[in-house]
Amino acid sequence: MTTLLKLEKVASAYGQSKVLWDVDMDIIQGSAIALIGRNGVGKSTLLKTIVGVQKLTGGKITFRDQDVSAASAHGRARAGIGFVPQGRHVFPHLTVMENLTVGLAALTGRKGLTQSGIADHIFDLFPKLTQIRARKAGLLSGGEQQQLALGRALAGQPSLLLLDEPTEGIQPSVVKQIEHALRRIRTELGVTIVIVEQYLDFAWSFAEHYYVMQRGQIVRNGNTKDETAAEIAHLVNI
Ligand SMILES: Nc1ncnc2c1ncn2[C@@H]1O[C@H](COP(=O)(O)OP(=O)(O)O)[C@@H](O)[C@H]1O
Ligand SMILES: [Mg+2]
C-alpha cells in the first residue's frame, strides 16, 4: 500500500482566527476517503489547504513523496491534485467546452503527457456535457454544473481528486448519476478520491476510510467496514 497524500500536523487560519490544528492524514493510493463533520468545523478549509488556495500556517503536506507545503496551487494541480470546490464555481460566462478547457491548464509543462484536448472518457462519464457543450455554464442546472466541475477537474488528469459536497443541492436522480460516475472514476481511471459528504449512507457505501472533524481537528478515523454510519452519526449531528 502506497501513501499518495500525507498530512502532518497541518494548520491553517483566516487572519488571526485559527481554523485547523494538528491535522494528520494518510491517504492510500487507489482508496476513497470520506471527510465528515458538522457545518463550520473546517472541512472545506482543509481541502483548500491541501490544494494550496488556502495558506498552510503549520505542518507539512507530502504528495507522491514530494513536500508540496510551499508549492503554489497551480504547482499542486500540475502535480496531479484535482479539486471540485463546494458550490462548484464554474465560470458562468464561459461555455461548457470553454470551462472544460480551463481544466487543461493543470497539464501545462507536465512530463509525459500530451495535451490533446478534452479526453473522450470525460464525455463518456458525463454524456450530458456533450449535448450542452456550447451552452453558457451560468445557465446550467446545479446537477449539470456539478458534472461540468467534475469534468473540468478530470481534464487535468489528476491522480487525487478532492470533492467538496458534490451532491449538495442536487436532485436525487442526478445524485445517482454523479455517484455512478465517481465509482467509475475510481475503478476505470484509478483516481484516489477524498470526498466531503453530508449523506453518511453514501459516504459509507463509497469510501473505505473515514475521517471525522470537529472544531478544526480530526477526532476520529477508521475503516467504514469496521463501524456503521449510525455509530459515527453522533459525532456529526448537532
Ligand atoms: N473566507 C473565510 N474567512 C474567514 N473565516 C472563514 C472563511 N471561510 C470559512 N471561515 C470560517 O472557518 C471555519 C471553518 O469553515 P469551513 O472550512 O467552511 O467549514 P465546513 O466546510 O466544515 O463547513 C468556520 O468557522 C468558518 O466561519
Ligand atoms: Mg464546507
Q: Taking the domains of the chain in order of start, what are their residue ranges?
A: 3-87+158-235
pLDDT of residue 20: 98
CB 190 within 8 Å of CB 182: no
Task: Give the length of the chain.
Answer: 238
159 CB near ligand 1 (under 6 Å): no
Domain covering 3-87+158-235 assigned CATH 3.30.1510.10 in the classification:
no
Q: pLDDT truncated to tens, each residue of the chain (238 aa)?
A: 899 999 999 999 999 999 999 999 999 999 999 999 999 999 999 999 999 999 999 999 999 999 999 999 999 999 999 999 999 899 999 999 999 999 888 887 776 665 567 788 899 999 999 999 999 999 999 999 999 999 999 999 999 999 999 999 898 888 999 999 999 999 999 999 999 998 898 999 999 999 999 999 999 999 999 999 999 999 997 6
Ligand 1 centroid vs 115 CA: distance in angstroms? Answer: 36
pLDDT of residue 111: 65
21, 23, 36, 44, best to mutate for ligand 1 pocket (most atoms within 8 Å of CB): 44
Ligand 2 centroid vs 192 CA: distance in angstroms? Answer: 20
Q: Which residue has its alpha carbon closest to ligand 1 atom 25?
A: 40
The DSSP result for the chain, as a single string, is --EEEEEEEEEEEETTEEEEEEEEEEEETT-EEEEE--TTSSHHHHHHHHHTSS-EEEEEEEETTEE-TT--HHHHHHHTEEEE-TT----TTSBHHHHHHHGGGGGTT-TT----SS-HHHHHH-HHHHHTTTSBGGGS-HHHHHHHHHHHHHHT--SEEEEE-TTTT--HHHHHHHHHHHHHHHHTT--EEEEE-S-HHHHHHH-SEEEEEETTEEEEEEETTTS-HHHHGGGT--
pLDDT of residue 238: 61
pTM, two decimals, is 0.95
- Which ligand number lies closest to the CA of residue 39? 1
